[in-house]
Amino acid sequence: MAVGLPMQTTAGESLPHATPPRLPKLKVVVAGGHPGDPEYGCGGTIARYSDLGHEVVLLYLNQGEGTNRPAGESDRVRVVEARNACAILKARPAFAGQIDGKAIVDPVHYEQFHRLLEAEQPNVVFTHWPIHTHPDHRAASLLTYDAWLRAGKKFPLYFYEVESGQQTQDFWPTHYVDITAVADRKKSACYANTLTVDGWWPIHEQMQRSRGNEKGCKFAEAFNRHPQSPNEPALP
């Protein structure tokens, strides 16, 4: 059953006088390498969760410092943009404190990331697909996966794609989310990250159209669910 959606008859129509069950509020964490990654990879799904009243946290591995802006300016700009994007999606930003382009995956950072995720007490977690050309994205995926293992695999773990075929490699979806109703908000959140707009949005717009064709709707986002994840809660 989809989280927070009305009760359905066998014909797929809402029961006319049924009161939807009161579902618990979920904590959803979406881990990404840089500001912009969670928004492009699953901004529509984030918007759907938040619209249903669930709490969503975008956990960025770094602040996106690796740009051609003057020293000290880049991180401030990217943090402000991340906060603006999160406001559009009704989510909360958080940062793991690593440096753009210098991601570290070692016992110390495994432990640090585990503590960050443990403190959030998530019910659902999303992160990058690990077969990826960008080292920061691979690092975010590995750190999240390790934290999920340490947590006892007690919440569903989903992997998302960005620039599939160019950055995300060999990605095969197991689940889809229809984002047609929130596609405009996703685009606005992506455009809030001004550094990432040129060349990125057309790729992702085509991706969500293609995934929509696969699901049978206008726009969709695709995910790979780790097979050892618990069955509940379901995607929105």
pLDDT (tens digit per residue) in 59-81: 999 998 764 445 555 558 889 99
Q: Using 50, 70 and 90 to split pLDDT, how confident is the model at 23?
A: low
Among 1.10.3720.10, 3.40.50.620, 3.40.50.10320, 3.40.50.970, name the CATH number for the domain at 27-225. Answer: 3.40.50.10320
Residue 17, C-beta contacts closer than 8 angstroms, at least 6 positions apart: none
pTM beyond 0.95, yes or no? no
Percent of the chain with pLDDT over 90: 77
Residue for token pair 């700009």:
77
Q: How do 92-98 and 124-128 pair as beta strands?
A: unpaired
* Beta-carbon count within 10 A of 25 CB: 10
**Cis peptide bond N-terminal to 233, omega within 30:** yes
Average pLDDT of the residues of the chain: 88
163 vs 40: CA distance, rounded Å: 9
Evaluate if residue 119 carries a pLDDT over 70: yes
For the record, the structure tokens of 120 come out as 């959030």
* Mean pLDDT, residues 131-140 taken together: 96
pLDDT at 22: 53
Evaluate if residue 12 carries a pLDDT over 60: no
Question: To 10 degrees, the CA torsion angle through 147, 153, 47, 58?
Answer: -10
12 vs 37: CA distance, rounded Å: 34
Backbone phi and psi for residue 217, each to the nearest 5 degrees, phi listed first: -140, 180
